[in-house]
Structure 1
């Protein structure tokens, strides 16, 4: 186990402009008729401040090489494990924005699924110098599998007792993965390079992007409850979704919050989330 405590407190500042083109592209991915809006939809801050890295500075997995802002953790499997996000003020389109990022925690854990490092990064996003969004993002690093893994028999998580306010389907295929990768300038090979995903990282197929699943959770909630003003959202990825999986986007809406989750067709929960809100 290596110690990376020296990286705690490391900071990075990026500037961008909320051009509406990225919003239109995501609306097309979600099969929406282009909707003329003036504010950035929730979670669409992820389409800005993208790392622009020359190809020669990419690692084997397609990510930028570690050791710049993020620590050089040797484990090759890198995933976005979850986030906790506060929406303080709206972010207008066609506006100058700034993101101040800081590494606030690095933890080593060892368990049944192997050795892992968790890196927590706090992002503060300012719109015209006004604090608008604060997000704590968890990134997990794991050792690669030596061989391609077969699908394991997993006992489905019981969901029959859950209360469904809605349960919606959304069709995802390899084209969806490609378009989302292109929109976010994400060249992580597990999302588009099947031989790499299966033979190098040991997945049984291409992996759906965690932030895409999180966006589907919040997008569907907003479609069902457009009158509610969202103040906070958190999510945690608990089971990968592959390109051959079918799944549902589910919600249980309560008084001031809603439980959201991605449920695979076999009953497994892939992602859990909670959104807090008040009447708009």
Structure 2
């Protein structure tokens, strides 16, 4: 008779990774590349200008040796990866405070640390919620404070997902701000390359379908967050985002029509990502000035 799995807390009770510091020169090339992927008419920012909020995800990238990757494409080991057996990972959301803009072309420092690791009980069993904190500085000045919430599970199990993505055009939402998009596998592949994300669910259809139970490649959660922030960047271009809180609730799949929607009120806005299946795949609250 197989033994019962150990509680997740037993694996992480003494897990306490220390902070890690990284440096990046913030060259303009990655911004120009992501601007092209998003079909912008030109680069979202040039050298010396302010980096758009959340576009720091294009920098401070880690490229482990290929043999260091696990079967899912993620690194098999990492400083902030908890020591769980047969680990599965999902980005659940985060928060950001933008104190001062990061400037393209100026060297920046990122200090990353473990803020918390909490075992929670979900509908499908135990999960470990890990919150990483990242502080970004330029010229010794604190510019951005970011927290990322990552959910880990132990054991390889396909989730409960729809039989197939909904490729029909969704009805036009009533929100004042709208951005329609139909992400295809090429867009997901290019975004994976720009963010050094080798997770196979984003570009390997057979793996996504047969190993993890998705009907098609999965749109990156960080891409959904970036798309939501495109709304204030495009509709109130003279403003500056001060704070952001976002949640990644349900996956969106390659080939689906989606609408990024926003409702502004004074100096804040409620943002969401909708498809024909779900009105709130991802949500965010943003304040700007």
Is TM (by shorter chain) over 0.5?
yes
Q: How far apart, in 1, do the equivalents of 2:242 and 2:203 lie?
A: 34
The CA deviation string for residues 124-143 of structure 1, in whole angstroms up to 9 with x for no partner, is: 01112211100010001135
Contact 2:17/2:80 (8 A) holds in 1 = no
Q: How far apart, in 1, do the equivalents of 2:232 and 2:58 lie?
A: 20
Q: What is the deviation of 1:204?
A: 1.8
Q: Which residue of 1 aligns with 2:250?
A: 239
Q: Which residue of 1 aligns with 2:33?
A: 25
Q: Which residue of 1 aligns with 2:18?
A: 10
Answering whether residue 69 of structure 2 is matched by residue 58 of structure 1, we say yes
Answering whether residue 217 of structure 2 is matched by residue 211 of structure 1, we say no
Q: What is the deviation of 1:203?
A: 1.6
Aligned residues: 271
Q: Which residue of 1 aligns with 2:3?
A: none
Moved more, 137-146 or 210-219: 137-146
Report the CA distance shift for 1:67/1:90 in structure 2 as closer, same or farther (over 3 A): closer
**TM-score computed with the length of structure 2 as normaliser:** 0.87
Q: Which residue of 1 aligns with 2:90?
A: 79
Q: What is the deviation of 1:147?
A: 5.4
Q: How far apart, in 1, do the equivalents of 2:145 and 2:104 lie?
A: 18
The CA deviation string for residues 200-235 of structure 1, in whole angstroms up to 9 with x for no partner, is: 122221111011110000012210111222100111
Answering whether residue 51 of structure 2 is matched by residue 43 of structure 1, we say no
Q: Tell me, what secondary structure is at the counterpart of 2:152?
A: strand
Report the CA distance shift for 1:266/1:200 in structure 2 as closer, same or farther (over 3 A): closer
Moved more, 34-43 or 2-11: 2-11
Runs of 4+ off more than 3 Å: 143-150
Q: Which residue of 2 aligns with 1:174?
A: 185
Contact 2:95/2:243 (8 A) holds in 1 = yes
Report the CA distance shift for 1:257/1:5 in structure 2 as closer, same or farther (over 3 A): farther
Question: Which of the numbers 104, 111, 123 marks the counterpart of 1:93?
Answer: 104
Q: Which residue of 2 aligns with 1:184?
A: 195
Write out aligned runs for 1:99-138 (5 A). 99-138=110-149
Q: Tell me, what secondary structure is at the counterpart of 1:84?
A: strand
Q: Which residue of 2 aligns with 1:195?
A: 206
Structure 2 unaligned segments of length 5 or more: list them. 1-6, 165-170
Report the CA distance shift for 1:2/1:145 in structure 2 as closer, same or farther (over 3 A): closer
Report the CA distance shift for 1:15/1:272 in structure 2 as closer, same or farther (over 3 A): same
The CA deviation string for residues 230-278 of structure 1, in whole angstroms up to 9 with x for no partner, is: 1001110011111132110000101121000001123431001000112
Q: What is the deviation of 1:93?
A: 1.0
Q: Which residue of 1 aligns with 2:167?
A: none
